[in-house]
Chains A and B, each alone.
Chain A
Amino acid sequence: MYRYDEFDHTIVRERVDQFRDQVARRLSGELTEEEFRPLRLMNGLYLQLHAYMLRVAIPYGTLSSKQMRMLAHIARRYDRGYGHFTTRQNIQYNWPNLEDVPDLLADMASVEMHAIQTSGNCIRNVTADPYAGVATDELEDSRIYAEIIRQWSTLHPEFSFLPRKFKIAVSGAPIDRAAVRFHDIGLQMRQNTRGELGFGVLVGGGQGRTPVIAQTIKDFLPKQDLLSYLEAILRVYNMLGRRDNIYKARIKFLVNEIGRDKFAALVEEEWERIRGGALDLHRDEINRIRAYFRPALYELITEQESAYDTARRSDREFDRWCASNILPHKQPGYGIVNISLKPVGKAPGDATADQMDVIAELAELYSFDELRVTHKQNVVLGHVRLADLHSVWQQLDAAMLATANIGLASDIIACPGLDYCNLANARSIPVAQKINERFSDPEQLARIGQIRINISGCINACGHHHVGDIGILGVDRRGEEYYQITLGGDPADNAAIGESIGPSFSYDEIVDAVETVISTFEGVRETGKTFANTWRRVGATPFKENLYGPTRK
């Protein structure tokens, strides 16, 4: 894992001191709310429906056990004993007091964490493949480059006041698990004909009220040119992006307005001016960062993991959990463990302080002291020996963390919605809970198979509804909660934006409507096909007919 250098430590410490002073001045009346608001937002502190909310950055979702324990401590000491993991691989606390936030941030800083650039029109937390460094198909660990980008973008003076917020995702594998097509910039690692590694560069993707799939502006960018090229993109955007209309300020509108080719040409022009200069990434520098992400010292495992096989054969529940939550690891004898934060009856992505401690402990004992938060709001233990899995599972189970549903119908992405969020139209969490309850039978879940159900409480799309197989969007109809269903979205290689299927449903109708969609799918599916395959084959008609009757178009 990356460790702060002196420079990192200093800026984070100075920022805490500065914010402490700002809070004191606000409380003494020296600063008005108008003056203070932008300052608190620069430190990740929002005012939500019921309280302040603090968003803490988890760079590319990776944490050490020590950091996870600190997250637990903060939940206990400054909040109500829990935290909410978000779709941007961050964590949010829903109830801190303004007075306490400087101390909270000082505690965070002691484990190299902060809330800088989690709000505002700057480059936000860089996200990466949650299986970086352990996936079987990977070309290289994407976190190396996410970390290089993090260092370059942190407090970058030129890009602190962009037209709008800016999100970058990096994938180091040919299969996209970082949704690179739905970010302002997506970087997809690939190999050129000479066998060298570099990046395909995509720009202008995003969700929100105007969802757009990113377009490629460069097929192959050599690694050493990564930062100069990113700088060129950001410069063009910073110069030409709209600042007069917040709804048209993201880079996607600029790319759309002037066209991809023109945009790419402008970037190329700027890049020609600055490439080969100070931003060139030398091999030594890449190696220096790579060393932080050096593969764990795996044991060489040659014989069959007979204990693991026996446990799977004899323990049905364990077997089920392995089938849905364990992925193959690049190292024989190891597995990638997905810990579901979506048990029945709980808010997707929430974890109590005690659960965080359990996860930290397991990571320390069984997974080289490292864990990851996924954009699906789950947690990953990157490298667990198959022989240890049964024990890990039992300990997770005792902490209500062994739900076997990764990628299945009850593994729902949901934003905080109207239960917490100031911008919401409708609740997301109870809808997710009701769907989760409806689809809690393991046999049924297995039968339905891989499906993404994503819920956002408003058009800002934090719950990624546009890219759900089934997307659910909360809308407001005269103060009442209604829900719009979209079908056929896909965040990855077959990127697609979900298609709205018809009039919206009330809070009391929405779960039945989702069930109708799923039973329709089961009725028309061919053996072994997923929802996504089936949608592409049959289209909207059968779903519309079953939801609205045969006459409705």
Chain B
Amino acid sequence: MSKKNKQKFETRVMTANMLVGGNVVYLVASGNWDEDIAGARLIENDDELRRLNNVAQEALVKGIIVGPYTIPIAIGSPGPNPLSKREQIRANGPTVPAGFSK
């Protein structure tokens, strides 16, 4: 959230966990929450950030999601790619096989 206009706005997307399933979701263009980051709506300026914050707040109050926040991303060929390792793992799931099963 840069105050200075000179500073370049870091492209972000809005993420949260669903209240019931706890699963990771992203705010997509339709205003819905989806598990696939590929369709996440890009936030490229402060107005958009404010607007999507309001959308997220509403979803929070309605009990659809919990813990919304935005994450910086890079635009890749299939879609947005989170910059941090943590968010990459949130987007794609654990990097290790689940339990002992293959």
Contacts and interface: CB of A to CB of B under 8 A. Distances in A.
Interface in A55-93: 80-83
Interface string B1-41: 00000000000000001011111100000000000000000
A287 B34 CA distance: 58
A81 B86 contact: no
B100 A419 contact: no
Contact of A50 (B19, B23, B62, B100): B23
Given A47-B66, A50-B24, A351-B99, A480 B94 contact: no
Nearest to B21: A97
A428 to B, nearest CB: 10
**Which of B85, B86, B89, B96 gathers the greatest number of chain A CB atoms within 10 Å?**
B96
B22 A98 contact: yes
A350 B101 CA distance: 10
Given A27-B63, A29-B63, A430-B95, A346 B100 contact: yes
Given A33-B66, A49-B89, A424-B86, A98 B21 contact: yes
Contact of A420 (B83, B94, B100, B101): B94
B23 to A, nearest CB: 6
Contacts of A347: 96-97, 99
Interface in A37-57: 47-52
A27 B22 CA distance: 13
A355 B100 contact: yes
B98 to A, nearest CB: 6
A473 interface: no
A365 to B, nearest CB: 22
Interface string A350-369: 11100100000000000000
A51 B96 CA distance: 16
Given A26-B63, A418-B85, A479-B85, A51 B23 contact: yes
A429 B97 CA distance: 10
Contacts of B89: 49, 418-419, 427
Interface string A193-226: 0000000000000000000000000000000000
A117 interface: no
Nearest to B82: A479
A481 interface: yes
A481 B85 CA distance: 7
A47 B95 contact: no
A99 interface: yes
Contacts of B99: 80-83, 346-347, 350-352
Nearest to A478: B84
A33 B24 contact: no
Contacts of B95: 419, 427, 430
Contacts of A171: none
B22 A82 contact: no
A352 to B, nearest CB: 5
A529 to B, nearest CB: 34
B60 interface: yes
A47 B67 contact: yes
Place the interface of chain B in its size category.
20 to 34
**Which of B23, B67, B99 gathers the greatest number of chain A CB atoms within 10 Å?**
B99
Interface string B75-90: 0000000011110011
Interface string A489-512: 000000000000000000000000
B94 A50 contact: yes
A400 interface: yes
A424 B83 CA distance: 16
A486 interface: no
Contacts of A95: 22
A401 B63 CA distance: 43
Given A419-B89, A424-B86, A98 B20 contact: yes
A127 interface: no
A351 B86 CA distance: 25
Contacts of B93: 50
Contacts of A97: 20-22
Contact of A351 (B17, B62, B100): B100
Contacts of B17: 47, 51
Contact of B85 (A47, A81, A480): A480
B83 A479 contact: yes
A418 B62 CA distance: 30
B84 to A, nearest CB: 4
Nearest to A341: B100
Nearest to B96: A429
Contacts of A49: 24, 86, 89-90
Given A27-B63, A424-B86, A51 B22 contact: yes
A480 B17 CA distance: 23
Contacts of B97: 345-347
Contacts of A350: 98-100
A174 B53 CA distance: 59
Interface string A305-348: 00000000000000000000000000000000000000101110
Interface of A: 26-27, 29, 33, 47-52, 80-83, 94-99, 343, 345-347, 350-352, 355, 400, 418-420, 424, 426-427, 429-430, 433, 479-481
- 3 nearest CB pairs, A to B: A82-B99, A479-B84, A51-B22
30 contacts: A27-B19, A29-B62, A33-B66, A49-B24, A49-B86, A49-B89, A50-B23, A50-B90, A50-B93, A50-B94, A52-B22, A80-B99, A81-B98, A81-B101, A82-B98, A95-B22, A97-B21, A98-B20, A98-B21, A343-B100, A347-B96, A350-B99, A352-B99, A355-B100, A418-B86, A427-B89, A427-B96, A433-B96, A479-B84, A479-B86
Interface of B: 17, 19-24, 60, 62-63, 66-67, 83-86, 89-90, 93-101
Given A47-B17, A81-B98, A351-B99, 10 more contacts: A48-B22, A52-B22, A80-B98, A81-B101, A82-B98, A82-B101, A98-B19, A352-B101, A419-B94, A429-B96
